[in-house]
Amino acid sequence: MSAAWPLRATVRAYLDDRTCSWSIGAYGAIAEFHWLPGDAAGASREDLQIVTGAGALRVQLRDDVVAHAYLNLSRHPHRWLHGITLCLPWRRARTAARQVLTELGPDQQAIRHRDRRAVLFDLGLGLSHVDACVRSEVPELLTTLRAACGQSLLGSGNALMAAIKEANPHRVFMSRLGRVEVYQPIGRAGDKPPTPLGPHTHLLPRLLASRRASAEAGDAPAYHRACVYLYPRHRLMNNLGHCKTYDGEAHAQFTALLERWGDKDFLAQRQRAMDAMRSAMPARRYPAPADPRSRHALRIAIRELAQELEDTEIISDWRRRFDRVRAPSHAHLVH
């Protein structure tokens, strides 16, 4: 049996789990696949892909894929984030990294057969491991896009982004390990909420300008790139980031994934901090880690143990010393 088989079985199981979500992207540009409540009746499934009325997802595993389970800090002071990434060594993860709008021709790899005549345009965001594209058959939009080919969408005064938002073409984000396609309209600033439920995209030029490859800290092993993100069911939040009753089954499932695919040094730092708190060690006696990822492990340990033990005097002492944060003031920032 291939060594990739347990990963394939895990991916297939999570594709059938409507409580989790997926994404492909980088810092400042991401396409997310979320299930909508009514999708169960209209969705179709093949081996490693899903098609719904609002969007679609395809995962393409290879022999050199590396699975990576990670924990990350949330901007909410009592939460943390978790995920599984499917990664490749950074050289093998590289895509075209086009810098200008480029016509790619008919999208012959479209997940739905009926979309394979539509024309694909790379938006030219210069991402190292993601091709962020739009796809359309609308003559007026095709004319507009073709006239703008060779230009950068990120330049000041470029009106093309507004034209794309107005036309609502399909958005297609591709990596070496899959693609997310979004069919439903683009969210608008005046909408409440501006981001639609279900599959959607985010494109934030200010964040793109930083040229940071990773969407999240610690989301890939060293010298690798995260090509597909999977967000299994969280024990404290639903897939919209809203609080829910503690979910012990979700905690046990993700703990097993961490033990299989997590970073051993990170997990050792987290466990060391938990053991110290359980032994009632005062925070002032615990040596503060020197590097950022170890500090993240410590802070996540405090938040996890606070959920397990509630805010005891020891937990409060450690929180004051190592995890003093201010809760975000805007509802859309609480994730």
Percent share of the chain, pLDDT over 90: 66
Per-residue pLDDT, 53: 92
50 neighbors 33 (Cβ within 8 angstroms): yes
Taking residues 152-173, report their average pLDDT: 88
Highest mean pLDDT pick, 41-55, 61-75, 204-218: 61-75
| Per-residue pLDDT at 323 exceeds 70 | yes
Per-residue pLDDT, 330: 41
CA 80 to mean position of chain CA atoms: 14
Per-residue pLDDT, 191: 66
Per-residue pLDDT, 247: 80
Taking residues 287-299, report their average pLDDT: 93
Per-residue pLDDT, 44: 64
Taking residues 157-162, report their average pLDDT: 81
Rounded-to-integer distance, Cα 295 and Cα 269, Å: 9
Per-residue pLDDT, 170: 98
Per-residue pLDDT, 268: 96
Taking residues 206-227, report their average pLDDT: 86
User: How would residue 311 be classed by pLDDT, with cut points 50, 70 and 90?
Assistant: confident
Q: Among 107-121, 134-148, 155-169, 273-287, where is mean pLDDT lowest? A: 155-169
User: Encoding tokens for residue 148?
Assistant: 């703008």
User: How would residue 5 be classed by pLDDT, with cut points 50, 70 and 90?
Assistant: low
Give the contacts of 51 (CB within 8 A, at least 6 positions apart).
Answer: 43, 44, 45, 111, 112
Place of tokens 């597909």: 228
| Per-residue pLDDT at 206 exceeds 50 | yes
101 neighbors 247 (Cβ within 8 angstroms): no
Higher pLDDT, 246 or 106: 106
What's the full length of the chain, in residues? 335
| Per-residue pLDDT at 133 exceeds 90 | yes
Per-residue pLDDT, 334: 37
Rounded-to-integer distance, Cα 89 and Cα 220, Å: 10
Per-residue pLDDT, 331: 41
The mean pLDDT value of the chain amounts to: 88
User: How would residue 124 be classed by pLDDT, with cut points 50, 70 and 90?
Assistant: very high
Taking residues 206-230, report their average pLDDT: 88
User: How would residue 222 be classed by pLDDT, with cut points 50, 70 and 90?
Assistant: very high
Place of tokens 């279900």: 198
Per-residue pLDDT, 71: 95
Taking residues 111-129, report their average pLDDT: 96
| Neighbour-count burial for 54-69, b at 16+ CB within 10 Å, e otherwise | bbbbbbbbeeebbbbb
Output the CA–CA distances (angstroms, integers) from residue 143 to 37, 62, 99, 135, 164, in the order listed.
37, 37, 20, 13, 12
| Per-residue pLDDT at 31 exceeds 80 | yes
Identify the sign of the CA torsion 162, 146, 120, 42: positive
Q: Taking the CA of residue 28 as centre, how many other CA atoms within 13 Å lie in the half-sphere pointing to its CB? A: 15
Per-residue pLDDT, 335: 41
| Per-residue pLDDT at 1 exceeds 50 | no
65 neighbors 177 (Cβ within 8 angstroms): yes
User: How would residue 76 be classed by pLDDT, with cut points 50, 70 and 90?
Assistant: confident
| Per-residue pLDDT at 156 exceeds 80 | no
